[in-house]
Copies of this chain bind each other. A is one copy, B any other.
Amino acid sequence: MSTEPVRRGTGRARIIEAATELFLSQGYAGTTTRDIAARAGIRQPSLYAHFKVKADILLEVLAQPIRASVETSAALIEDAGLSAVERLGRLVEFDVKLLCDGPNLAHLGYLPDVRAEQIDAELDAQHRDLRRAYEVLVEGALKEAGRPVEDARGISDVVLTLVEGVILRRIVDPGVTGEQLAPLLRDAVLTLVR
């Protein structure tokens, strides 16, 4: 493990940044408060001036990625100027790029030791929203293609599984980029609703 202090940010933000990197590389239970403090450039007890317990750091780390995704996907879904097919394609591209670029934050929500902290209520709610978004767009795309909407549920399942797969993809293939993967998955999804 690197013990080099992170350079940017101050105080609380620096702790969050350090904890994020460490949770992703070592897991939650596998990361000690000393690890976090060392990387944030402070002593271990100083963490407790910002957080009451270790789990509170995890809460804040998990709270980071929520907003951007939900808001943008909501905006995409309701853009009446575009066809459902176009909106579906853009949502896939957006999500894949979000999952590929930056730290693999989405992966944290799937870790056993994170789920064992029983803070998954909000994460699961997010997941339901995303699932619903894909269902709506797939249904719209199928209508545009003159296909029966009964297929929407199954195809949404496939699309969701595909997008989710990106999270694990990055772990084995760290070189993967949203730039290359996003158009690939978008085209694949559009083939399914054509």
Contacts and interface: CB of A to CB of B under 8 A. Distances in A.
Contacts of A185: 158, 161
B24 A112 contact: yes
A191 B27 CA distance: 38
Nearest to A183: B154
B24 A124 contact: no
Contacts of A110: 107, 168, 171-172
Nearest to A155: B188
A158 B24 contact: no
Nearest to A108: B112
A166 interface: yes
Interface residues on A, range: 35 or more
B112 A23 contact: yes
Interface in A109-126: 110-113, 115-116, 124
Contact of A192 (B29, B155, B164, B191): B191
B26 A184 contact: no
A163 interface: yes
Interface in A148-172: 154-155, 157-158, 160-169, 171-172
20 contacts: A26-B29, A26-B113, A26-B116, A27-B27, A27-B113, A30-B30, A110-B172, A113-B113, A154-B184, A155-B188, A157-B181, A157-B184, A158-B188, A161-B165, A162-B162, A164-B169, A165-B166, A188-B192, A191-B192, A192-B192
Given A161-B169, A165-B168, A167-B168, 14 more contacts: A26-B29, A26-B112, A27-B27, A27-B30, A29-B113, A111-B111, A158-B162, A161-B162, A161-B185, A162-B162, A165-B166, A168-B168, A188-B192, A192-B192
Interface of A: 23-30, 107, 110-113, 115-116, 124, 127, 154-155, 157-158, 160-169, 171-172, 181, 184-185, 188, 191-192
